[in-house]
Amino acid sequence: MDELWTNLRRTQVFNIIGLLGVLVLLNTNGVESGKKAHNLESFQYPAISCRAHSVSLEDFGGVGDGTTSNTRAFKAAIDHLSQFATDGGSQLYIPPGKWLTGSFNISTSHFTLYLHKDAVLLASQDESEWPIIEPLPSYGRGRDNAEGGRYSSLIFGTNLTDIVITGDNGTIDGQGEPWWTKFRAKELNYTRPYLIEILYSEKLQISGLTLINSPSWNIHPTYCSNVIVQGITILAPVTSPNTDGINPDSCTNTRIEDCYIVSGDDCVAVKSGWDEYGISFGMPTKQLVIRRLTCISPTSAVIALGSEMSGGIEDVRAEDITAIDSESGVRIKTSIGRGGFVKKVYVRRMTLKTMKWVFWMTGNYGNHPDNNYDPKALPVIQNINYRDIVAENVTMAARLEGIPGDTFSDICISNVTIGLTEKPKELQWNCTDIAGIWSDVTPKPCDLLLDQGPEKIKQCKFPENSLPIDNIKIRTCCNKNF
C-alpha cells in the first residue's frame, strides 16, 4: 500500500487503476483479487453529471475493516481529486467494507461520492474526529446548545457547484447512540453533528443511500439551489432525539422523492432560519416538491413546515404521501417572534393510517434561540391547501391554532375522509385564529372554515405547472468514464 501511496503522489490515478486492471485480468482467480477488482466492476447510476476521473478510497490508504480511521484517507483522496474540478470532474468510489471515519469535507466542485451497495461509512464515535464549526448565520447558535459552535457534519461541504452523493444503496451509519445518550444527559458542549450538510451550493444530488442512526438530523441542504434528494432510506429508533430525515433549509428549487423514512422526529422538516437571525438573514425556502414519501414518525410530523421559518417558506408542493403511525400530516409550526411566512402550500393525495392529528397548525411553538426575539415579529401564514386525503384510525381530525391578532388565513381543505379510532376525541376540530373554506370533508370541520358545498371541490388547487427542478436532465453514468 505504501508503494502505491507514493506512486499516487507522482502519477495520474487512472494510470494506476489501468495497471491494476491489467494485473486483475492476468489473475485467473477473480475472487482472491476481489479487493482491487472492485475498481473495475462495471456499475451504472443515474446522476445530474458524470465524471471524467475516478479513484477508490483504497488507493489513498483507506482500510475497510471497521476499526481503522479513514478520515485522512478521505482528505487525501478528495485533495487529490480537486485538481480535476475544471477537467471533467471526479468521483471517489467507496468499495465494499466498513469504512470508519470522522467528519470530512467535500472541498471540490464537480465531485461525486459513490458508495457500493456493501459499503458502510461508519461515523466515528471519537469526538476529536469532529471539528467544531460556527453556528449557521440564520440560526445564530447551535440547535442543541446556546453557547459555542457545533460539530461539523459527517459529510460537510460549502460553496460548491455540482455535487453528487450517491450509491447502489450503500449505507451511512451515524452510530448515534452515544450522542443521543450524552444529549439527553446534557453532557455535550456543542450541537450534535448531522450526517450530510452542504451549505451555499448549487446543483446537489443526494440519492441511492441508506442512512441509519444519525446523531441528529440526517440530510441538511442549506442556502442551496437546485437540489435533488431521491431514493433515500432513513432509519433511526423512533425514540431517538431530533433524528429528522431531510431538512431543506433556505433552499430554492428542491425535489425530494421516493424516500422511506422511519425516525424519532419529523420525516421532512422544511426550514429557513430562527427568529431575529433568520429574519435578518432573510433567505426563504421556496419551490419545493416532495413526492412519494413514506413515513413512520410516532412522535412527529410527516412533513413539518418550521418551526424555524423566519426567512419564509413559499411554494411547497407535497403529493402521494403515505404515513403509518405518525403524529400529524403536513404540520405548520411557528411562534410570535419568528416573523417570516408560510404561504402557497399545496398538498394532495395523502394516505394516512393511525394518526393523532391529520391537520395540525401551531402558532405558539415557542422555542426561541434567546430572549432577543422581537415580539412584534408575527409570521404570515396564508394560502394553505389540502385535498384528496384518506385517513384511518385517527384520534382527532384537526387542531388548527393561529395567533391572536394574526389569523392564519386562506386555508382550504377538500375531499378528505377521516376514519376515527375506537376512542376518538369528542371535539374533532379545534380551531382558533384561523380562516378558510372546506368542501366534502368528514367529519365536519369547525365553523371558522366555511362550507363551500360539494360542487366547489376544485377550490383547493394544486399548481398545474411544474417547477424548474423537474426539468433537470439526469444522465446514466458508469465507471467507463475514466
Ligand X SMILES: *[C@@H]1O[C@H](CO)[C@@H](O)[C@H](O)[C@H]1NC(C)=O
Chain residues that interact with ligand X, rule: CB under 6 A: 103-105, 131, 133, 152, 156, 158-159, 169, 189, 200, 210, 231, 233, 349, 354, 388, 390, 393, 395, 401, 415, 421, 427, 430, 432, 457
Q: Rounded to the nearest whole angstrom, what is the least distance from the CB of residue 233 to ligand X in the complex?
A: 4
Contacts for 353 with CB less than 8 Å, ≥ 6 apart: 323, 324, 325, 391, 392, 393
d(CA 101, CA 174): 10
d(CA 24, CA 37): 6
Q: Give 288 or 460: the residue with its C-beta nearer to ligand X.
A: 460
Q: Rounded to the nearest whole angstrom, what is the least distance from the CB of residue 208 to ligand X in the complex?
A: 7
Instruction: Say how many Å lie between the first and final Cα of the chain, rounded.
Output: 22
Asked if 198 and 158 touch (Cβ cutoff 8 Å), the reply is yes
Strand partners, 432: 401
Helix (H) or strand (E) holding 199: strand 196-199
Q: Give 7 or 430: the residue with its C-beta nearer to ligand X.
A: 430
Q: Give 390 or 472: the residue with its C-beta nearer to ligand X.
A: 390
Cell triple for 340: 417570516
Q: Rounded to the nearest whole angstrom, what is the least distance from the CB of residue 112 to ligand X in the complex?
A: 19
Residue 38 phi/psi, 5-degree rounding, is: -60, -30
Q: Rounded to the nearest whole angstrom, what is the least distance from the CB of residue 151 to ligand X in the complex?
A: 10
Cell 475516478 belongs to residue: 54
Which conformational region is residue 258 in: left (phi greater than 0), alpha (psi within -120 to 50 degrees), or beta? left
Q: Give 35 or 292: the residue with its C-beta nearer to ligand X.
A: 292
At 451 the three-state DSSP class reads: strand
Q: Rounded to the nearest whole angstrom, what is the least distance from the CB of residue 20 to ligand X in the complex?
A: 29
Q: Give 24 or 379: the residue with its C-beta nearer to ligand X.
A: 379
d(CA 120, CA 189): 28
Q: Give 2 or 426: the residue with its C-beta nearer to ligand X.
A: 426
Q: Is 2 a catalytic residue?
A: no
- Residue 72 CB coordination number (10 Å): 14
Cell triple for 275: 427568529
At 188 the three-state DSSP class reads: coil
Asked if 54 and 32 touch (Cβ cutoff 8 Å), the reply is no
d(CA 194, CA 191): 9
d(CA 122, CA 104): 12
d(CA 155, CA 473): 25
Q: What is the DSSP string of 234-294?
A: EE--TTSTT--SB--BS-EEEEEEEEEEE-SS-SEEEB---HHHHHHH---EEEEEEEEEE
Among 265, 266, 388, 433, the one annotated catalytic: 265
Q: Give 37 or 389: the residue with its C-beta nearer to ligand X.
A: 389
CA atoms within a 13 Å half-sphere pointing along the CA-CB vector of 160: 27
Q: Give 35 or 353: the residue with its C-beta nearer to ligand X.
A: 353
Known catalytic residues are 265
